[in-house]
Structure 1
């Protein structure tokens, strides 16, 4: 069974060759296949940060740390120089106000004007809200991450160690419904923490590389908090697609030879899952090919 980056390249080639041409929500169009799986071995510190193009892994980890805060506003992300969520509130601002503001100016206003950020930087009840503050029918909030960590520590043989973000009652208020929507965990008898992450919708060129890196970073943190070792990350995709304006970039990436996975380690054990910072993460041995630029479909 392949554990390497070649899995990803094979899937990229499969979508190019056999993908169903579809009209999608964004209007850009996609080539799509349904159902895919990859397995990544995280033992020894190995992490699936793609090498056939440069992946800005710190951005992916910062995003994951933001999810863990339960936050739903892009201002903290922009203060960390993370711009991957700007497209959706920017599109809403332009649509509702008619102002053709540039992305740079919009982001500047979000950072400099907290009142403006409260109104226009909000994404609705997206990932972090559901992970940390899921609203039950009785009005109580449920912290799925805290419950997961408590179960990892007290009952690691449980088959109920999971969290998800597909809250049907709040989908309409989200800027973007969750793509990587379910994470389930499994602990082996020798203390390895495995994860299966199900992603209902997969932008294979731009989104998936960040999702791999973010899920791996989360697994490293959870293992650290539960006195376990990272094991296997199993990634499952539903609608796996390439946007039609990403096809040339995908072919370019397929022409590159993968290099060995880098390794990720933590410089310290944080007091809780809420206390990790980007400076706690070190990635060693990362030797990627140059970046490949592509536009996000909104």
Structure 2
């Protein structure tokens, strides 16, 4: 059924939803659903338990890693209650927190919500103004659909237009990566398997690696096997699938029409691949540095090459 709908929408054309297919690494590996997994370099997906200190105030995953951005994809109220009121959670003041919650509605006179918006919206706007609006990297970040300039007005991204929320978060991640390439980003939901967090990771894979929907999901499944399949028979899943299809096509169109920007012309740090000199431009293989300009490496040390288009 899904394949028929995709064909009807024209997703079998050259720059379609199914372009850039590639083999998926299905090698079995130890998996613990209670801890986050690194889906691709610097992008982690996990449950709320990854925020909890294990034995001491400085023993959580985020305190032991260079996590500087946390994106919640679960209930905003439940998340804030955990972060602000649990004695087992201690998050450093230099960490940026966002919440992607399409169904969220502002609750008047809610101190928890008001304090969160007041604190993190100030940090968010400082980031955007300092590192995007008043910075030279403005021309390195693709715009939003309809040539809309990038902007986020609140640390809580809500509303039924999930596609535009995906665009905003992906663009913000791009800004963070330009500021600090070693910065780690943690995406969380209650159990780490929520359909919305799955959808956000898929959007990231589509944007950065040109994966189609099916291969994005399969790749994510190899990294975090506990994620649930998005089903057309479930309304919430269908909404995410349809918005991902729109995101993919519009994102491809934006990038193809932005010839003045540096589109996907990045080179991974050779330190990430020190065990294989053929990808470091040191004469250790065919192509060397020239080949690296048109290739990306996916998945850290468990990598494969993908040609740019």
TM-score normalised by the chain length of structure 1: 0.29
Q: Which has the higher strand share?
A: 1
TM-score normalised by the chain length of structure 2: 0.29
